[in-house]
Chain A
Amino acid sequence: MASITEFNPSTPKRDAMIMTIFAVAVLTAPIWLTPIGANYPDLLQRFAIFGIFAIGFNILFGLTGYLSFGHAAFLGIGSYAAVWMFKLLTMNVLVALSFGILVTAVFALVIGFVCLRRSGIYFSILTLAFAQMSYNMAYSVLTPITNGETALILETADPRIIDRAILGDAKEALPSPSLFGLELTGYPAFYFCAVMLILAFWVSLKIFRSPFGLKLLAMKSNQNRMLYTGYNTKPYLLVAFVISGMYAGLAGSLMAVTDPLAGAERMQWTASGEVVLMTILGGAGTLIGPLLGAGIIKYFENIFSAVNRTQLGEVFGFLPEPVADALVSISSLFVGEGWHLTLGILFMLVVIFLPGGLMEGFSRLAQWWRRRRETSATVGDGAVQPSE
């Protein structure tokens, strides 16, 4: 047991505190995100949902080192399953979420069983192939199920068997997804996603601290050695893959809850790449890192892409005109349609200078701070504490 405590310097008390701080931070997000213009329900929901997605991805990539390039397929499958539940049975989100997670788990089991026969780059390519296959099928062949490019949307004429049996024929307007009568739109929807995020984080924390998590980490460091000690690694990998897929399914279902629509582009390879970027940007293998990465990427996508020249002009308005004009011209390259450029530069800087992601930056800062305070004392071996 010594090895566990050494690698994982955590106590139940400390974990409880992490959870408390995390929960408070998530639930008060509408307040502390106001100064940076990110305080509106849709973006907050997105932060929470992609946070869940990235946390789940991290369970696979961060712990086992298996880089799945097809995780977006599970996101899409979860969405389609959830929307179909809304259409066929009821607008109650719990039904949609459970079905979404269940269907995703089945797909993850099948895809994982095939893909995990290989490791390294071959595994990545296989997952990518499956995701691209799902995307193309959703886009064209499976149109009766997925409604193709137009995306699966709710109609007033949908059966909604359970709802109709209980409430009778609904009113003319489209119903919203609800939690036993509480309509989940706007802030209620965000708080629902936030609670899901906290639960997801808690499960992920438990996995990181568990012997199972440690076995996954051991496979990441040296799978052969694991095999020699007599462990059959395949089932563990498959379980990690399925759990990770179920997280993506949950995220996908939540996307359908906050916005009852399921489109094929959710499964495109760029979406799979996005979650890889999120995880690496924040710090693969850390608890909070992927969440941070998800937040940053979604912030760039939604806020930076919406800044236009007029707004920049207002920002630099206090400067003399030629200077302001020059600044506007230069900075407009990086906002609006240039948001990809800014994100790319940030990603490059992080990968070059902080290979462990932003979390490495934070722990370096913390170390520097500690060293400054305790100049005489030596602090451990200076190793990065990834589980923080």
Chain B
Amino acid sequence: MNASPTSSSRVAGRLSARRRSLASAAFVGVVLGVLGMLYAALAPGGQASTSADPAVQRGRDLYNQGCSSCHGFAGVGARRAPSLIGVGAASVDFQVGTGRMPLQHHGPEAPRSRVRYSQQEILDLAAYVASLGPGPGIPQFNDADWQKADTAYGGSLFRTNCAQCHNFAGSGGDLTYGKYAPSLSKSTPRQIYEAMVTGPENMPVFGDKQITPDQKLAIINYVRTIKSQADPGGAGLGRVGPVSETVVGWLAGIGILVIVTLWIGARA
């Protein structure tokens, strides 16, 4: 196909105006064709995982073995699992690092469970998924960073943005149709941060422009502080305050008294 337009362009000068316009159209066609072939040869294409980074390569192997049956190859997603393109390394570190992924069974909520991968494997998986598309990275901060954050301010932010679902003491709570917001008692500071930036499952996303990294550290400090506080009564009862304490006091305490009274009456 290339031969004929090339020859006609070579003789363009001797040709009539009508044939000359035909020839220039053919020339444009040739240039576009060459550019297309060059692009196909040089562009990275769909195979982003051809990266030379060894972590990405190890992650791809792990991914193909453990994740691709649901999420599809190259993270494109499938009918029973969402695409992982653009979820970012933070999402992988949270989901796999809390044992929610690999999913144990289908249901309204994926519960925290035993972590199935080593820390290195999780980082490899995260590096691979991060290479599929841009997304939030694993937050980098150390304990001193959140420990010096403002606890009171964090508490204020927590009650505005988090407490409606997670309870003001972070004990979690129920949502619709069997879903629930989990307790934060086992969450590490990094996992709390990752949950805020990625919005796992039905949790809303709280990006860094809405809640700044400093504010996130303050929230983390609040969650960790209330977790470390003692329950003077011996049992926290979900730390939901006077309601649960009264219910237990009346139903359990008075209930036992009534039963004992009946028993004594029956024996007398």
Please say whether chains A and B are actual partners in one complex: no
